[in-house]
Structure 1
């Protein structure tokens, strides 16, 4: 919110994220740098044209009234956190425009898109207020606030007002022992947090979900998401020699999956043996069906 004591008025201009209609067409043979420069220049011209028209109108009618600009884009250097759900508005980094695109006639700039409260280009009067509520478990420990902007004439003073935490979120990660220990601590404290559980241990845990659900049963804890990073860290590269999937045997494919996920030694031997038993059973079933 913005307050203008003694006058209660302000000129406002609101921009949605910039659509294709104001974007330059991509031309054949352009480099990524060329495309990025054209994109940023088009966004700069768009903001400049609209805001300079607004400033000219303001200067004619009420020169002491502040000009507020609201936009939706991703500025260069903007801070994000893992798992906050923020996505690029455009392909690659083309949406990461520099703070210099905003004309100096702006008395206060309020941007949306990034969830972390922050200044734009280090400027006090150019800010992302951030999301008032956590949008993902990556924001679980992030303080939330809203910006209260007081104007004296056209000079802005910003105060951050904290937003109360209505529902506790927590990301619990680590080995199985670490996860169960943290869940026990939360349970003993009568916590009613919503949880994301991320297993990052070295051992394979086939009963991860069962162990987590047993640990929180009968408590106020609510597990919303369980991730096994041990299985998701990497995707297997099937063959470095260029062979496609059809040229690999079933055993070779499974062996490469184990190697890609760094499963070695006794664990790999056990899994290969069990996998072989499954293949044998499947082949026997197919033979009997014929």
Structure 2
């Protein structure tokens, strides 16, 4: 039996207002061909199927077009929700999708047994715990007046207990079947990119890898976009997103993970590269240097390269600002589209916080950074730590 692990599709994603649907469509076309050619028996998607809780009509269409094409394959499909997904949105067609051998777990269910899926193919047996992104209410009971530190510790403890119960359910109800646990969360030690929305603000509630115990034969994680192994011994893997979703991911090698089961045990794990169809590139330097490098760029890919430019000049002047705007608006190279730009004057930012350098796009500053900057300006405050924790809780409630 062959199982394909992927995650973090983020259907509907825009990179600085640039639509990435073409990138995903090329990945989906390749994915379907790979499933056919390699006779994949099970497809696991570990959360963040959509980029927004309320997807656009175009995002819905891309999702259902993909499922329609997958249905024609002899492949069991298992989908779980991530922190970007709405459980209601994913679960709405779940009963209908069952008829096409597609299992969907948008949010945690009251009974663990409802999140266990069994697959039997080619004389092999597989049990999958389809654990989606776990919300606060799924893992603990909140109390009025509790401190932020107490809340974080309860979240960590709640996650450990939850996955311990998942293992106990397997031990009680199954015997020799290969056991895979799906999850969508931050595990300490994993490398982040700038495009992930933290499960808990600052990832304070990140858990240790040993939380999953020794029972699962493979842990198929989502949420982190950089593919990486968290524990070789325990077979805990993030497969990462299939396409770059931010400029911090431009050097990442995107992949899918393919697990092979033979004689009711995992015999092989293949890390299969996903074809690259678009470059994300960054140009930094003076206005003259950036303009030269933009014009000299010649690499061609299936899709137009997307660029961020960071221009740094010594002194501010109207002439330099106008030249910067002209450079951005001219789109000087047919192989590149500029989607992100920043102009920094050194003389104006000396001694200033990097997060608030002149020319910084407000979209690049987090709400937390903005709040901390405001607190710095209020010199008469003494309880800043409490205020920061309170603000973090507000951001969590608003999912910002």
TM-score (norm 2): 0.52
Aligned residue in 2 for 1:168: 279
Shift of 1:66: 0.4
Single out whichever of 128-137 and 89-98 deviates more from structure 2: 89-98
Is the contact made by 2:124 and 2:261 (CA closer than 8 Å) also made in structure 1? no
1:213 aligns with 2:350: no
Shift of 1:30: 4.1
Structure 1 unmatched runs, 5+: 244-290
Aligned residue in 1 for 2:218: 108
CA distance in 2, matches of 1:240, 1:194: 37
Task: Give the aligned length.
Answer: 234
Shift of 1:203: 3.6
Single out whichever of 199-208 and 138-147 deviates more from structure 2: 199-208
1:143-222 alignment to 2 at 5 Å?
143-152=253-262, 153-186=264-297, 188=298, 192-204=304-316, 205-207=320-322, 208-214=324-330, 216=332, 219-222=334-337
1:80 aligns with 2:203: no
Aligned residue in 1 for 2:126: 10
Cα–Cα, structure 1 residues 240 and 45, in superposed 2: closer, same or farther, change >3 Å? closer
1:31-50 alignment to 2 at 5 Å?
32=149, 34-50=150-166
Cα–Cα, structure 1 residues 149 and 198, in superposed 2: closer, same or farther, change >3 Å? same
Single out whichever of 66-75 and 22-31 deviates more from structure 2: 22-31
Cα–Cα, structure 1 residues 125 and 173, in superposed 2: closer, same or farther, change >3 Å? same
Deviations 1:29-66 (A, max 9, x none): 6462x43322111011111112321232111xxx1x20
Given candidates 333, 354, 372, the residue that maps to 1:233 is 354
1:131 aligns with 2:241: yes
Cα–Cα, structure 1 residues 158 and 19, in superposed 2: closer, same or farther, change >3 Å? same
Is the contact made by 1:55 and 1:67 (CA closer than 8 Å) also made in structure 2? no
Q: Which has the larger radius of gyration?
A: 1
Cα–Cα, structure 1 residues 211 and 9, in superposed 2: closer, same or farther, change >3 Å? same
Is the contact made by 2:308 and 2:338 (CA closer than 8 Å) also made in structure 1? yes
Is the contact made by 2:331 and 2:338 (CA closer than 8 Å) also made in structure 1? no
Is the contact made by 1:71 and 1:111 (CA closer than 8 Å) also made in structure 2? yes
Cα–Cα, structure 1 residues 8 and 37, in superposed 2: closer, same or farther, change >3 Å? same
For the residue of structure 2 that corresponds to 1:100, the secondary structure is: helix
RMSD across aligned positions (CA): 3.0
For the residue of structure 2 that corresponds to 1:92, the secondary structure is: helix
Is the contact made by 1:199 and 1:228 (CA closer than 8 Å) also made in structure 2? yes
